[in-house]
Structure formats: structure tokens, C-alpha cells
Amino acid sequence: MVRTTICLADLPEGHTATIRDIDVDSPTAQRLLDLGFIPGTKIRAIKKAPMGDPTTFEIRGYQMGLRRSESELIDIEIKPNEKQ
């Protein structure tokens, strides 16, 4: 099965992916890890704001809003046609 790696900011609404990596060189990285954005965790894009920033994600049973600049630090794997 083919998988595609993109940044979390590019995950379309309603789609689910798996977190692959976080840019640990960013000062925000430790906070994201503390909030549960850990490699191997499933994440779903719930809703994007009208201008595309921020986006609400569902992860580990809760919803979290991230700015585009924060979600660009997270690499994800998405399977083709993977939804919910």
C-alpha cells in the first residue's frame, strides 16, 4: 500500500493520518509533544477556519486548534483515500 508523507497543515478536512515526525529544533516542539502529538498517534482534521488558519484537529479523544505555523512542524503519513 502506498503512503504519502505531508505536513499536518496540508491534511484535508475529514481525513485521518498518523503522525510520523515533529521538527524538534523548534521551540514549540516540546509543547506539542506534551499535548500528545507523538509519532504513531492517529490525528484527524475536523475543521479549518474560513481563511484556513487555524485548524481544529482531533487527537487522543480531544480537539485541539493549531495555527498553520504550528501544524507545519508535524509530518504525517496518509494513506490514499483514507477518511475517518
pTM for this entry: 0.85
Average pLDDT of the chain to the nearest whole number = 88
Q: Which of 52, 80, 78 is nearest to 67 (CA)?
A: 52
Residue that has been written with the C-alpha cell 475536523 in this structure: 46
Q: Which of 74, 58, 50, 63 is nearest to 14 (CA)?
A: 58
Domain 4-78 homologous superfamily, CATH: Ferrous iron transport protein A (FeoA) (2.30.30.90)
Tens-digit pLDDT profile for residues 53-75: 899 999 999 999 999 999 999 99
Tens-digit pLDDT profile for residues 3-28: 678 899 999 999 999 999 998 888 88
